Structure 1
């Protein structure tokens, strides 16, 4: 089994929705799946981070909220800023250790980054450094809206430049009224294949309420990633 690192072309592009869908799909295969959100920013009135809660609910392995989201900050802003507001620092080595410990208990670990791929975690480290430290294949969530092709291809280049495997990408519809939506998806398919041999792992429409993205994933493509 392979663990994966899920990143996105930007913040609010559906990383958590897609990560939860991956966890549900893995559970359907009979695998013990665990979600891990190493850093989360933004808590509700009850002190709960929505992303952490979603990954916790999607994990088939019994976990605590602290195991899924070890660092949860109050302010909904860039993680290094949110940490500074609380007088804390983000220790990369600790996050890697926690991820490894969780991975040892699961068949599949789905790690969700924060924001885009290169969001700072401190003065000298960012989420790309965390991805490198873990060394897991990367799945890129592309938010389908104007400008997504450039954002997607630049992010893919950043992933590959760090020696990481871009295992595949998921198209997530942010703007269902996007002009030439299908043409953009077709272009992304072509460019990801041409440049990186990275398959599309699913095309998720704009979901309403608690609808799951799991049914929109490509099972055959996922099997190749998780059992390679």
Structure 2
């Protein structure tokens, strides 16, 4: 297989607990299935449990498990806070300062080890990281194409359109979006999807239903990543 240039995507969400990690791991799974050396990265994570003499975050663990390249945890997740709250508040409580320059350094190190880096944001697109910057600033500094995860529930059209506008305002390309069903009983599900498709300026990559076991492989079966323009044609075989 010929060598490929390094690439990255930034996974953003319309809110917190919307399925960013599930979609990020699905993308990592699809990349690995196509022979691409891919690594996940979660620059900032809030909420950790003490196990095996160390603090662990579940999202970080899932990204590690789905990655086909192993990278040092200090680069993959440079900022881990114990309290499951807004990252700038959790960091302040622990006397930490989330520095975008350090995240960029870590991303460069991870990029040197993998063909693709899948960078998952924290919370929604504009969650504060410290008193000066937020996750939108981080995405802009990384200068990566964005994949938007839209949680399908009441109110998601407004959230998705506003997030897409915020992404565009930062000069970032919206490479695609994935619908992730949060409320399986959402009224007018098909109509909501149609409305989103007409208002979001990027291709719909897939719609992930409520999964009894939400694994990377199960989610990937509902997504077609082949239209992602940030990667040369032919990387993704027709697995979906």
TM-score class normalised by the smaller sequence? over 0.9
User: Displacement, 1:210?
Assistant: 4.3
Q: How does 1:10-21 map to 2 (within 5 A)?
A: 10-21=15-26
Residues 31-70 of structure 1 correspond to what in structure 2 (within 5 A)?
Answer: 31-46=36-51, 47-70=55-78
Write the distance in 1 (CA, Å) between the matches of 2:135 and 2:89: 14
Q: Among residues 198, 203, 207, which one is paired with 1:190 in the alignment?
A: 198
Give the TM-score normalised by structure 1. Answer: 0.94
User: In 2, distance between residues paired with 1:49 and 1:72?
Assistant: 8
Provide the TM-score with structure 2 as the length reference: 0.90
> Given that residues 104 and 142 in structure 2 are in contact (C-alpha distance below 8 angstroms), is that contact kept between their aligned partners in structure 1?
yes
- SS for the counterpart of 1:216 is coil
Deviation at 1:65, TM superposition (A): 3.3
Residues 100-130 of structure 1: per-residue CA shift (max 9 Å, x gap): 1111211111000000000000011000000
| Residue in 2 that maps onto 1:205 | 209
Deviation by residue 1:18-70 (Cα, 9 ceiling, x = unmatched): 00000111111111001000000001242210000000000000234333212
1 or 2, which has the higher helix percentage? 1
Q: Are the aligned partners of 1:53 and 1:65 in contact in 2 as well (CA < 8 Å)?
A: no
1:3 aligns with 2:8: yes
> Shift of residue 219 of structure 1?
3.8
Is 1:163 the counterpart of 2:167? The answer is no
Structure 1 Cα separation of the partners of residues 219 and 188 of structure 2 = 22
Unaligned runs of 5+ in 2: 234-240
What SS does the aligned partner of 1:167 have? strand
Q: Does the 8 Å CA contact 2:147/2:176 hold for their aligned counterparts?
A: yes
Secondary structure of the corresponding residue to residue 151 of structure 2: strand
Question: Aligned equivalents of 1:181 and 1:84: distance in 2?
Answer: 40
Gaps of 5+ in 1: none
In the alignment, is residue 220 of structure 1 matched against residue 223 of structure 2? Answer: no
Q: Secondary structure at the match of 1:109?
A: strand
Over the aligned positions, Cα root-mean-square deviation in angstroms equals: 1.3
